[in-house]
Amino acid sequence: MLITQINIDPNPDNGFPFFLPIFQKPIHVTIHKPVLILVGDNGTGKSSLMKTVQQKLGLYEIEMNDFIKKDKIDVTSVNVSYHLSKPKGFFFESSKFITYLEYINKEKTLAEEELKRVEKEYRNSSDFAQQMASTPFKRTIGELNGMYKHDLSKSSHGESYLDFFTSRLRPGQLYLLDEPETPLSVQNQLTLLALILDGVKQDCQFIIATHSPILSAIPHAQIIEIKNQQLIEIKYEEIESIQLLKQFINHKDQFLKHFE
């Protein structure tokens, strides 16, 4: 286990997100499984809780432009207990994935355009001058092409996400995933589930905020529901959305007749 506890004391003076309802009471989470699932309605604070952990540990955040200055959270009231040394890993919000793809494609296009420009501008120069002028752009294109197994711009969003996730998976690291099911079909959610289980075998740890009945069912996962500003450990069958989904599947016609 890379991290074993998350403790947050109420301190609304620390600014966002600590004035949100979830942070008005002390938060004490003991983690005893390599996969922790956070469930609850939108707005209950799942993403904000993971964001505080990410900033406390200094985990890398996947965004479209790492040169844009990000707002920092005052995490002085946050304590995360970890084993031996601070873990490495990353925090990724699936809602930003399409924007991230657009950023990668834009950077590649700009590098290709600049490469064409310098090749034209330096065509009568020495080989050395041509090499010096073109190398930065060739390096950028090569690095972007080598980041992933497939060209993300030519794959579906789901395939791109899985390729992206696989490329970032490293043994013994911590991964915070915010609603990773967003770009994924049911089949691709099952594929992601398998990748997560493979990561667990490599001593990785995951904290996942999700509405997905598939990802919530990851075997042997610890599940915490956030409801009414409380964090309660529950079983899969006790998840409110799972109960409602089962009722709908078993009594579909009775549900739908109310909309006729």
Q: What is the CATH number of the domain that holds 46?
A: 3.40.50.300
Tokens of 33: 């499984």
- Range of 181's domain? 3-95+171-259
Asked if the structure places residue 149 within a domain, the reply is: no
Residue 26 per-residue DSSP state: -
Does a structural domain hold residue 30?
Answer: yes
On whether residue 253 sits in a domain, the answer given is yes
Give the model's pLDDT for residue 250: 94
What percentage of residues in the chain have a pLDDT greater than 90?
56
Please check the confidence at residue 71 and state whether its pLDDT lies above 90: no
Which range has the worst mean pLDDT, 103-112, 125-134, 171-180, 212-221? 103-112
**Has residue 32 been placed in a domain?**
yes
Sheet strand arrangement including 27-30: 27-30, 3-8, 78-82
pLDDT score at 67:
42
Is residue 71 situated within a structural domain? yes
Whether residue 22 is contained in a domain is answered as yes
Domains identified in the chain, total number? 1
Q: Check residues 154 and 54 and name the one with the higher pLDDT.
A: 54
Q: What is the pLDDT of residues 213-252, one digit of tens each?
A: 999 999 999 999 999 989 999 999 999 999 999 999 999 9
Q: Which residue has the tokens 């620390």?
A: 14
Mean pLDDT of 104-131: 86
pLDDT tens-digit map of 129-158? 888 888 888 888 787 676 655 555 555 667
Question: Is 131 a domain residue?
Answer: no
> In the structure, what pLDDT confidence band is assigned to residue 55 with cuts at 50, 70 and 90?
very high
The token pair that represents 151 in the structure block: 């060209």
Handedness of CA 39, 187, 103, 59 (dihedral sign): positive
Answer yes or no: is 163 within a domain: no
State how far the alpha carbon of 29 is from the alpha carbons of 85, 128, 152, 191, in Å. 19, 60, 37, 29
User: How far is Cα 259 from Cα 255, in angstroms, rounded to an integer?
Assistant: 8
Structure tokens at 11: 């301190």
To the question of pTM greater than 0.95 for the whole model, the response is no
Mean pLDDT for the stretch of residues 17-28: 93
Query: pLDDT value at position 65?
Result: 53
